[in-house]
Amino acid sequence: MLELRGVSKAFAGPVLRDVTLQVPKGCLYGLVGPGASGKSVLLKLLVGLLKPDAGRILVAGEDVTDLDEIQLHRVRQRFGFLFQNYALFDFLTVGENIAFPLRQLGLTDEDELVRRVAERLQAVALSGFEARAPGGLSGGQKKRVGVARATVTRAEVVLYDEPAAGLDPVTSQKIFDLLAREQREAGATVLMVSSDVARLLTVTDRVGMLYKGRLIFDGTTEEALGSRHPVVKQFLHGEPDGPI
Amino acid sequence: MSDDAEPEDRPRPPPGALAGLGLGALGLLRAGVELQGVARRTVYWSIRGRRARGVVLRQCLEVGNRSVFFVSVTMGFIGMILVFQSGLQLLRAVPDLQMMGATFLEALVRDLAASLTALMLATRVGAGIAAEIGSMVVTEQVDALRMSGVDPVNHLVVPRFLASLVMTGVLIVWAGAVSFFAGCATAYFMFGVAPRTFLNPMLVDGGDLLTGLTKCLAYGAAIPVVSGWCGLSTFGGSEGVGWATTRAVVNSSLAVIILNFFISGASFLVFPP
């Protein structure tokens, strides 16, 4: 479903180096790695928010690397995206935030919009929050509104960037369970980036690990947990001593 | 450095003077291409885009109404200072100040009202636009707009562009009037020039009006486009927003001055004094 072939990206210094990765259709793929290893950049490359310096990016077999902004609009309609910093529009209410992608897809039936927003808010346990302003929500509530907005269009592919960052352990686990349930119900392909490895691995089918911009591991969750690669082993088990 | 450092991570020697010059030129070229892209998309979406009701009106309030006090006070004082200083200079050369009002009015209509008001709007409006859009960039709201299939230029720059086109013209006319009447009062109290003598439109012709109007439109278009581009090219966190705001004020002011040069030059050729 998602494929990167030899993708490299640099800003002031190299961020991704020759990354090749495949995410199969319907898979819940977890991408892990230490801070600044290029995880968020990889997500943004997939949807054309950033352009790679080298390599190709394919979505459902279509090469989207060189598409312009208007062509990318069509590709992005297949995606839902939860941003690391929630990215809720502060000039809209919670309800309007969730309805925003639907309106841009051309849905104008107000009753249907209200119904879809209420259904999504119920799914993330925030019923009745439609008229609230994003500024008045806690971090966990903002994340859940972000999840509602990312999933409201029932996209084929959903990308989650640090869905539980900064949340307490209970809320984190609730968020991961919610995302896994959403993925099972919708049958979507999910690529999830998280530093909360312990909780992430409870929901993933496959795992990839980025280290210094390189994909050093790609396999099933069980293979990841049993990996003898010193970096993977140290990171996944949180060992203080090792190459990292 | 750790043993497993990649070759491209190793520090590179600083570029030489020539390479630095080349990098600077490339950066300038890239900025020009980006600015041109924002300007092109602004015009395109102004014609083709759809906007929610009231969006442009809200921006008119922000750009126009909220600038009235600042512009009025500044232009009032500038009018008084200009008339006082030019009166003193004129008295050294000629004892007659009858044409002072007519000359002042022509200068206001042809250049001063538009250019000085636009420079003030570049600071107030330009900084506001860049700060607002820049903070949306660093909180990923602009990326979220793009993910929803919305061109940020259409959503964020175009309403401000349309509002600025209208309100810059309105503010310039208002500021010119404030400045002229403040100058009129100064001429009366400091030099004894009667208001009826000062209020003399005989030097203002169609060329002056057309030049002034062209400047109103050009500045009204340039300030939101340049500031919007600065906001959209923000990177980093709050420090990046600060930089974007500073760049917006500097670049918008530069745009006003450069446009003034070219429009005044063209006007001089088309409508010679």
**Do residue B146 and residue A87 have CB atoms under 8 angstroms apart?**
no
User: Is residue B153 assigned to a domain?
Assistant: yes
**Do residue A69 and residue B146 have CB atoms under 8 angstroms apart?**
yes
- B31: number of CA atoms within 13 Å, CB side? 15
User: Is residue B152 assigned to a domain?
Assistant: yes
Q: Which tokens in the block code for residue B197?
A: 């003598």
pLDDT exceeding 70 applies to what percent of chain A?
100
> Cα–Cα distance between A163 and A157 in angstroms, integer?
15
**Do residue B143 and residue A76 have CB atoms under 8 angstroms apart?**
no
> Cα–Cα distance between B9 and A14 in angstroms, integer?
7
**Do residue A104 and residue B149 have CB atoms under 8 angstroms apart?**
yes
Inter-residue contact A238 to A197 (CB < 8 Å): yes
> Cα–Cα distance between A38 and A211 in angstroms, integer?
8
User: Is residue B23 assigned to a domain?
Assistant: no
Asked if ipTM goes beyond 0.90, one says: no
Checking if the pLDDT of A131 tops 60, the result is yes
Cα dist. A107→A86, A114, A116 in Å?
23, 11, 11
Q: Which residue of B has its CA nearest to A243?
A: B4
Residues of A in contact with B38 (CB under 8 A): none
Q: Which residue of B has its CA nearest to A47?
A: B147
pLDDT digits (tens, 9 = 90+) for B206-265: 999 999 999 999 999 999 999 999 999 998 888 999 999 999 999 999 999 999 999 999
pLDDT digits (tens, 9 = 90+) for A165-192: 777 888 788 888 888 888 888 888 999 9
Specify the pLDDT at position B17: 83
**Do residue A100 and residue B149 have CB atoms under 8 angstroms apart?**
no
Number of domains in chain B: 1
Q: Which tokens in the block code for residue A228?
A: 């003898």
**Rg of chain A on CA atoms, in Å:** 18
Contacts 24+ apart (CB under 8 A), B215-218: B215/B111, B215/B114, B215/B115, B215/B118, B215/B172, B215/B259, B215/B260, B215/B263, B216/B114, B216/B168, B216/B169, B216/B172, B216/B173, B217/B165, B217/B169, B218/B259, B218/B263
| Residue of B8, B149, B151 lying closest to A14 (CB–CB) | B8
pLDDT band of residue B177 (cuts 50, 70, 90) is very high
**Do residue A90 and residue B144 have CB atoms under 8 angstroms apart?**
no
- Sign, CA dihedral A93-A99-A105-A111, equals negative
| Residue of B6, B140, B151 lying closest to A87 (CB–CB) | B140
Residues of A in contact with B149 (CB under 8 A): 73, 76-77, 104-105
Specify the pLDDT at position B217: 96
Q: Which domain holds residue B169?
A: 64-268
Whole-number average pLDDT of chain B: 91
* A124 min Cα distance to partner chain B (Å): 20
Give me the mean pLDDT over the A8-25 stretch.
Answer: 91
User: Among A74, A83, A244, which would you mutate to test the B interface (most chain B Cβ atoms within 10 Å of its Cβ)?
Assistant: A83
* B249 min Cα distance to partner chain A (Å): 24
- Cα of B264 vs its chain's centroid, Å: 16
Whole-number average pLDDT of chain A: 90
Inter-residue contact A179 to A203 (CB < 8 Å): yes
Cα dist. A216→A230, A231, A234 in Å?
11, 9, 13
Whose CA is closest to A210, among A222, A197, A202? A197
User: Is residue B56 assigned to a domain?
Assistant: no
Specify the pLDDT at position B52: 79
User: Is residue B9 assigned to a domain?
Assistant: no
**Which carries the bigger pLDDT value, residue A118 or residue B3?**
A118
User: Is residue B37 assigned to a domain?
Assistant: no
Chain A residues at the B interface, defined by Cβ less than 8 Å, are 10, 13-14, 17, 44, 47, 49, 69, 73, 76-77, 79, 81, 83-90, 100-101, 104-105, 212-213, 243
Checking if the pLDDT of B2 tops 60, the result is no
Residues of B in contact with A90 (CB under 8 A): 139, 141
Backbone angles phi, psi at A139, to 5 degrees: -60, -45
Tell me whether residue B110 is exposed, middle or buried, using C-beta atoms within 10 angstroms of its C-beta: 0 to 12, 13 to 18, 19 or more. buried
pLDDT band of residue B3 (cuts 50, 70, 90) is very low
Overall residue count recorded for chain A in this entry = 244
> Cα–Cα distance between A104 and A80 in angstroms, integer?
13
Range scoring the smallest mean pLDDT among A12-21, A194-203, A235-244: A235-244
| Residue of B9, B139, B149 lying closest to A76 (CB–CB) | B149
State the CB neighbour count (10 A cutoff) for residue B131: 19
User: Is residue B26 assigned to a domain?
Assistant: no
